[in-house]
Amino acid sequence: MAGAGKFLAGAGLGAGVTALIAALTSKPAQAAENLPDQEVRQALATVLTLLGNVQSQLNQIEIKLGVPPEALMTTEIQHLVFSQILLAGGVAGSAAKIYDDAPFAGMIKEVKIHWPDRCNGLVGIAVWHGTTQFLPKTGFLALNNAIVPYVINEPILDAEKVWVDMYNQDAVFPHQPTVTVRVEREVA
């Protein structure tokens, strides 16, 4: 590719870029023959060979799996993060409901909750989507100095409200728990 850089710099960047774009987007074999620099033609031939190898590998995947590569699914993942400083218990600001919209229809696959040190079981958390409480099914979870991942398999609708209900009953210290909700969907 050193020759390609020399070609692009020596012939003027606009002409070199135009020639390479033409070579890659139109009829690659014919366009490559019209490039003025032998090294650029060789570099382009190498790129086209590599692309052919990639296509060959994709074809092998199709043969082995019995499905075309474009039919293979991938997983899209989004994280919703909820965090709030809860004032010491018994005053305004010692409880909160924090809302966010689901980024797409899919599944809630994990909820990770962090209770900071000194919560001492006095900071409660419940996680909802729409009108359904799903972690825990009823009541609240309350721990101390813990980060706990909960494996979930809860369906969710596009733009459905996901929300966290939290409170602090500690009469002395404020606390800032954090809840991370992982939403996934399969995409082609």
Nearest to 152 by CA among 185, 112, 117, 187: 112
One domain, residues 78 and 66: no
One domain, residues 34 and 84: no
One domain, residues 55 and 145: no
One domain, residues 96 and 174: yes
Percent of the chain past pLDDT 90, that is, above it, reads: 56
Q: How far apart are CA 134 and CA 164, in angstroms?
A: 11
One domain, residues 41 and 98: no
Query: Which pLDDT band, with edges at 50, 70 and 90, does 28 fall under?
Result: low
The last residue of one of the domains, among 70, 104, 120, is 70
Average confidence (pLDDT) over 149-171? 96
Q: How far apart are CA 40 and CA 35, in angstroms?
A: 7
Q: Per residue in 32-70, pLDDT tens?
A: 555 566 776 677 677 777 777 777 776 776 666 666 656
The last residue of one of the domains, among 19, 47, 70, is 70
Number of independent structural domains in the chain: 2
| The one-letter amino acid at 70 | E
pLDDT value, residue 26? 53
pLDDT value, residue 37? 66
Question: Which has the higher per-residue pLDDT, 119 or 12?
Answer: 119
Q: Per residue in 107-146, pLDDT tens?
A: 999 999 999 999 999 999 999 999 999 999 999 999 999 9
User: Which residues, in sequence order, are CB contacts of 104 under 8 Å at separation 6+?
Assistant: 76, 78, 158, 183, 185
Average confidence (pLDDT) over 66-91? 84
Nearest to 21 by CA among 11, 31, 34: 31
Residue 115's CB: how many other CB atoms inside 10 A? 25
Average confidence (pLDDT) over 75-94? 93
One domain, residues 84 and 40: no
pTM over 0.75, yes/no: no
The last residue of one of the domains, among 70, 85, 107, is 70
Q: Over 90: is that where the pLDDT of 96 sits?
A: yes
pLDDT value, residue 7? 36
One domain, residues 59 and 84: no
Q: How far apart are CA 35 and CA 20, in angstroms?
A: 8
Question: Hey, what are 13's tokens?
Answer: 């960047």
Question: Hey, what are 108's tokens?
Answer: 């809630």
